[in-house]
Amino acid sequence: MKQKNELIIFLDSGDTIIDEATEVREDDGIVIRADVIPGADVMVKTLSERGYTLVLVADGEAQSFKNSSYNTVSMIASMQSSCRSTSA
C-alpha cells in the first residue's frame, strides 16, 4: 500500500503546468486552449504517485479551467485517480 505523504503541494496553473504563452482566448477573454508545459504532466503524476496531496492554485475566469481543452483540474484528477488505481 502506498504511504500518504503529509506534505501538501500547491501548484500554480499558469506557467507552472500550463504555458500561458500558448493560450487561445475567446473575445470575452475565456481561455479555450493552451499547451501543457513539457514535463509538467509527468511532474504531477510523479508527485501523486509519491503520495503527495496536490492542490491547484489558479487565477482567472472559472470557465477557462472548465473548458475540456484547457481542463487542468481534470488532468490532475485523472493522474491522481490513475495513480491510486495502480497502487491498490
Write the CA distances from 30 to 7, 47, 61, integer angstroms. 33, 29, 7
Q: How confident is the model at residue 17 (pLDDT cuts 50, 70, 90)?
A: confident
Which percentage of the chain shows pLDDT scores above 70? Answer: 69
pLDDT grade for 10, boundaries at 50, 70 and 90: very high
Tell me the C-alpha to C-alpha distance, in Å, between residue 74 and each of 6, 7, 22, 28, 53.
23, 22, 19, 23, 15
User: Cα angle vertex 60, ends 36, 72, to 5°?
Assistant: 30
Task: List 11's β-bridge partners, or say none.
Answer: 56
Q: In the chain, what are the domain boundaries?
A: 8-83
Model confidence over 54-86: pLDDT tens digits?
Answer: 888 878 777 776 664 445 656 666 655 554 444
- pTM, two decimals, is 0.67
